[in-house]
Every structure is written in C-alpha cells, then in structure tokens.
Amino acid sequence: MSKVFSVLAVVILLASSGYSQTAQNTWGLGISLTSSTSLGVAFHLPIILGNMRIEPEIGFRSSQTNSSNISSSFNSSNPYSYSYTYSTTTNTFSIASGFFFTSHLDQSASWYIGPKIGVAYAGSKVDNGVTYTDTTYSRWSQSHSKLSAANYFVGAAVGGEYFFSSHFSLGAELFISYTHNGQPTYENTITQNAPNNSLSVSTTAPPAASYSFGESTTLLIRWYF
C-alpha cells in the first residue's frame, strides 16, 4: 500500500503546483516506467479530445532469477559431490488503452480518471540442472520448460501531470486492475544421462488462477505536438 500512497502524493503535488501552462495540443508521445512485481517500460500516444483523453500504449516487462547450490563430502567411506542450478526468465508484452475524463486545475496542472483495458502476452523459461557423483556412479539431469499465456486486464486509473511548457509534462498514475489469466500452454524437455531416459513432452499445463487483482504505479514523461 505504500506505493499507492506515494503515487497519490505525487499526483496531488503535481496538481497543486503552479507554473507555465497546460497543453492545448491534441496529441503527443510519452514514455513511462511502471513498478509492480518488476520494472517495466511503456510507450504512450495521448490523444486529447476536449475534456476526454484516449491513450493507447504498448509495454514490455522482463525479470530474471538465478540460484545455485553446491555441496560435497570428502568422507573416505562415502565421498560425493552435488550441484544444482536454477534460472527463470519471464518476458511480458502488453497492449492497452485508457479512456479518461481530464480536467485542468490551473494553468500548469491537470488530472484525469477513467478505465483502462488491455491484453498482456507473457512467456517464461525455466532451466534446471542437477549433477550427482559418488564412488558408484555419476548422474546428471537437465530440464528446460517453456510456458506462455495471454492475460486480459481491465481496471481504473487516476493520474496527474505538471506542465513545464505547453509541450512537455511530467506525470504520475495509479492503476488498480482485474486480470483474467488465460490458460497457459506448457512445454517441458527433460534430458538425463541414464540410457533411454530422455523425454520431450508438449502439453497444456493445468489452468492458472482464473483471476487476480493488482495495483501498479507509473511515472510518465509526455511531449505534446
């Protein structure tokens, strides 16, 4: 919840400032940084129609996790060595659009509120590797998994922006969302050094959670033409 209060504080600060003048231009370009579970970047196309704003956007988010564990014993009666590695990479590409009512508070600040709807295409890759060696045998196993899904989301956004000139603004936005998680496709390949023990499977994974709720905070820079 701290992120919620932080972005609301930024919105209030921007809206209460007084400098320069609000943009009278009808369209622009923007870039944003979003913080939720990982950092994402998006490109915006704000279109102003009187007191309405339509703002299509495309975004990209990526995260990666790596871990490993190595253990060994040099006991003469039972020496062994063991190693384990794990890595996962998740990439998400999203297309969305907001439909906002906007209002100018003074000559330098405005705020907006309205619905946002979109779809996010997410793909994950997971790699695992295990190696075990003792006086009797040496064995290794590797697995490579891929998962992808299309997730649809809708929610409400509120934001504000401060205009340094009629062309340039700095803003902040809070988005509360509902996401329907699509059923993912799943592919897993396992390779082991034991004879006849290689396996490749392509199947549908068990359904993900049918829905989820979330919130994200965004900092935006916009340039109006």
Give φ, ψ of 133 to 5 degrees.
-140, 130
172 vs 158: CA distance, rounded Å: 9
36 vs 144: CA distance, rounded Å: 27
Of the chain, the percentage scoring pLDDT greater than 70 comes to: 76
Residue bearing the bigger pLDDT, 187 or 118: 118
Return the H-helix or E-strand segment holding 47. Answer: strand 47-49
What's the first-to-final CA gap in the chain, in angstroms? 36
The region, left, alpha or beta by phi > 0 then psi within -120 to 50, assigned to residue 114 is left
State pLDDT tens for residues 51-66. 999 999 999 988 888 8
The first and second tokens of residue 18, run together, are 């007084």
- CATH 2.60.40.420 correct for 2-224: no
Mean pLDDT, range 65-80, rounded to an integer? 73
State pLDDT tens for residues 160-197. 999 998 899 999 999 999 999 888 888 888 777 754 44
Note the pTM of the prediction, 2 decimals. Answer: 0.73
Residue 198: pLDDT above 50?
A: no
Please report the pLDDT score of residue 170 as a whole number.
95
